Structure 1
Amino acid sequence: MSRITAGNLCLGSAPDSWGVWFPADERQVHWTRFLDELAGAGYRWFELGPYGYLPTDPRQLAEEAGARGLQVSGGTTFGALHRPDSWADTVATARRVSELASAAGAHHLVFIPAMYRDEKTGAYTEDPQLTAEQWSSFGARANDLGRILLEEYDVRLVLHPHADSHIQTQPEIERYLNETDSRYANLCLDTGHVAYGGGDNLDLIRRFGERVGYVHIKQMDPDVLAQVAAEELSFGEAVKRGVCVEPPAGVPDPAEIVDALSALAAELFVIVEQDLYPCTAEVPLPIAMRTREYLAAQGVTGTARPRLG
């Protein structure tokens, strides 16, 4: 069902939708082109993406965003909460990104668990399953990190389930939520990655809606998902085969997601994040424009900043 407006949802996009996965890569568009096209496509909010891709000087970032009528919704980082020897680096990186996001007026850090397969080669780098001890460590460190970011930067930690990571399937997502404290660690519901892991987005929204603090909206091609299962493809290979598709194609149905999210009490950023790495420079803009128009027709706009509870 289309809505005139889903008043609690604020639309934005991310460098990922322009084929950006890394701070620097010869196959990615320059950050000025990303910001120019983002504004030209009608978006007003954006996520920072990989730290170092966009300017990391707060003054320069503010000037570049402001000149285009743009505002920052949140920052993004990877980290390995299950590895004790990575804790110091994980905290340091999260602090750096949160400091920049906070300086830009943003209050969310999208935290992506470390992947157990290499993003470019698909090679396994560690066991896909966490031990009971690692799970306990993961939850405790998510709480600790979330507390640090909230108290020092007024930034909320929202963990992003991700393909080829230890928080991918619905049971893993639910275990993460059960292992963590809602005061400090919540969920960035990435609708595409939930579908990739075989989960049910509508069920998660219905049962854990109070833990959804931020949203990445994307869809996956069921035919490519079948190839992933049959051939044990890495996420990087799946993206190359076009697993991420623009709405209204793919699963889950974005209109159903918008309807479910609009019934929540919370006000939320809904960030378009269609994985396109690698792609030619001319590909992202038309997709971004069509996607914004489709979601606007569902009532998702980018005209106001969500209030934090």
Structure 2
Amino acid sequence: MATAPSPLRTVAGNLCLGSAPDSWGVWFPEDEHQVPYTRFLDELAQAGYEWLELGPYGYLPTEPARLAEELADRGLKVSGGTAFGALHRPEKWDATLARVRNVAELTAATGAHHLVLIPDMYRDEKTGAFTESPELTAAQWADFGRTADRLGRLLLDEYDVRLVLHPHADSHIQTQAEIERLLNESDGRYTNLCLDTGHVVYGGGDTIDLIRRYAERVGYVHIKQMDPEILRQVAAEQLSFGEAVRRGVCVTPPAGVPDPASVIDELARLDAELFVVVEQDLYPCAPDVPLPIAVRTREHLADRGLSGTRRPRLR
């Protein structure tokens, strides 16, 4: 008699699992608290991952031939690049574009087709000090979507790279209302969503609702979970994201919210093939902390049908 499939396992053939330097405590191109990039790459492969996001520009080698050699030596492939950008500040457009071009060139050289853009944060990542107002003006909001589309069209036309904008704690795209406003005021041909499950819930949003109502705009996924108790501390004490991470807000599945199995179930229903990249914010952490977490996380997600053995087709 045939054995019934495990109720824990989801058929998620449209999803491809990867990881990122963030899961090894890497937030900056250089920092005394971070492991060398060679250790990250070695441990990523050892943990059983094939795909990676590039992380902060300058952490991994930026010379394409050298990066290709480092990846090939470990059997690794690139899902996308990562950049920060101040789309709400017209006076910073030139600087933002220069940074994004560097990332786009390296991303395209690896054969990847996604650039994850994180809005500049309004609190310092290390000190938590406010660097600008947490609220955008009406004029800044009016330009945000158009500026994202301008950048997205440039990336598509010049690099064959798709822009996916990443909601982030302590940024102006954090709450569900802000995420929806961005999507409603931008063009899906040029600007789509890097759905970060942890940052959505950090901002009080509903990941499942966003997937259901904006299915066509989900172009890439970061999967992570947050500790509800520390989220309560964030609200009560007005903690910065950096302080929340130091307190352990980002946790290993199946702990935390949102429930990763429910997220995978919902993503598996989409008529789209997507990278799902693991991120567990750990900065700063001891060097021996990330690898066991990475292994447990990959095994847990594999039990829910997520594997990393294929390249998703672009829409």
Alignment of 1:169-208 (within 5 A): 169-208=175-214
Q: Could you give the per-residue CA deviations for residues 246-266 of structure 1, whole angstroms, max 9, x where no partner exists?
A: 100000000000000000001
Corresponding position of 1:99:
105
Choose the corresponding residue for 1:156, options 157, 162, 183: 162
Corresponding position of 2:294:
288
Counterpart of 1:195, as a letter, is V
- Partners of 2:175 and 2:8 lie apart in 1 by 29
Return 5+ residue gaps in structure 2 as ranges: 1-6
- Secondary structure of 2:292's counterpart equals helix
Shift of 1:4: 5.2
Choose the corresponding residue for 2:230, options 219, 224, 233: 224
Choose the corresponding residue for 1:84, options 84, 87, 90: 90
Corresponding position of 2:78:
72
Shift of 1:5: 3.4
Choose the corresponding residue for 1:123, options 124, 129, 136: 129
- Partners of 1:179 and 1:260 lie apart in 2 by 25
Corresponding position of 1:133:
139
8 Å Cα contact 2:10-2:264 kept in structure 1: no
Query: How many percent identity over aligned positions?
Result: 74
Choose the corresponding residue for 1:48, options 49, 54, 61: 54
- Secondary structure of 1:11's counterpart equals strand
Coordinate RMSD, CA, aligned: 0.6
Shift of 1:3: 2.8
How many residue pairs get matched? 309
Return 5+ residue gaps in structure 1 as ranges: none
Shift of 1:138: 1.0
Choose the corresponding residue for 2:15, options 9, 25, 30: 9
- Partners of 1:19 and 1:218 lie apart in 2 by 14
Corresponding position of 1:145:
151
8 Å Cα contact 2:87-2:147 kept in structure 1: yes
- Partners of 1:201 and 1:3 lie apart in 2 by 20
- Secondary structure of 1:34's counterpart equals helix
- Secondary structure of 1:249's counterpart equals coil
- Partners of 2:185 and 2:84 lie apart in 1 by 19
8 Å Cα contact 2:10-2:265 kept in structure 1: no
Tell me the TM-score normalised to structure 2 length. Answer: 0.97
- Secondary structure of 1:3's counterpart equals coil
Counterpart of 2:266, as a letter, is A
Tell me the TM-score normalised to structure 1 length. Answer: 0.99
8 Å Cα contact 2:84-2:117 kept in structure 1: yes
Corresponding position of 2:275:
269
Shift of 1:237: 0.1
| Runs of 4 or more above 6 Å deviation | none
Alignment of 1:13-32 (within 5 A): 13-32=19-38
